[in-house]
Amino acid sequence: MTTPESPTPDPTPPAPERSFGLIAVAALVVSGFVGGVLVAALMARQTQHEITQLRASVTTLQQDFERSRESTKALAASTDRHVVLPFADSGFQPIRTNGGTLLIALGEVTPLQNTVIVQLRVGNPQSVTYDGFVLTLEWDKQQLEQKYEHVMLEPGQWATVQATLTPADPATTKSLRITGASVNQIRVR
């Protein structure tokens, strides 16, 4: 008699806790990977936001720097085109003209009634000769354009010229401001 063959049982039955452990490990790996991707995406988004903010800050700083540079240039251009000469000071000041820089110093100051006569020393530090010059003078809310047409400013030399400030109160007029200077002709040897 033949009996149907019965399947032979597997000597090692499946271990349910082992397959559960593999599933748990796989789930942890997948969740870790997804979490890592999410963290990386969030960090990339945050980094991109920070980069955008930094670019905006750099642009603003560049604009501020350019404005400051232009202001500094304008200030430098304006400050060397005018000088203030206090009567109590004997030093010289450089002043820029249309043809180079001149040096200006006060000489003798003579107070008279309603007038102040000022001797100005004008130096030429250049290697050219200036034939005539014009100074714009200010004092006590007064202004005068003084022309020195026939004064030769030789290279490396000083010339003395006179300016009559009138009306001027000798008691209150304590300085002279030169707000402009230009030369008439330049002669090169």
Q: For 1-11, what is each residue's pLDDT tens digit?
A: 555 566 666 56
Least confident range of 44-53, 62-71, 130-139, 175-184: 62-71
Is residue 21 pLDDT above 70, yes or no?
no
pLDDT digits (tens, 9 = 90+) for 109-167: 999 999 999 999 999 999 999 999 999 999 999 999 999 999 999 999 999 999 999 99
Mean pLDDT in residue range 99-113? 94
Is residue 17 pLDDT above 60, yes or no?
no
**What's the pTM?**
0.58
How much of the chain, in percent, has pLDDT values that exceed 70?
Answer: 80
Domain residue spans in the chain?
A: 19-79, 83-187
Mean pLDDT of the residues in the chain: 83
CATH for 83-187, options being 3.50.50.60, 1.10.340.30, 1.10.10.60, 2.60.40.1620: 2.60.40.1620
CA dihedral 162, 164, 165, 168 (to 10 degrees): 130
**pLDDT value, residue 73:** 59
How much of the chain, in percent, has pLDDT values that exceed 90?
Answer: 52
pLDDT digits (tens, 9 = 90+) for 64-76: 777 766 666 555 5
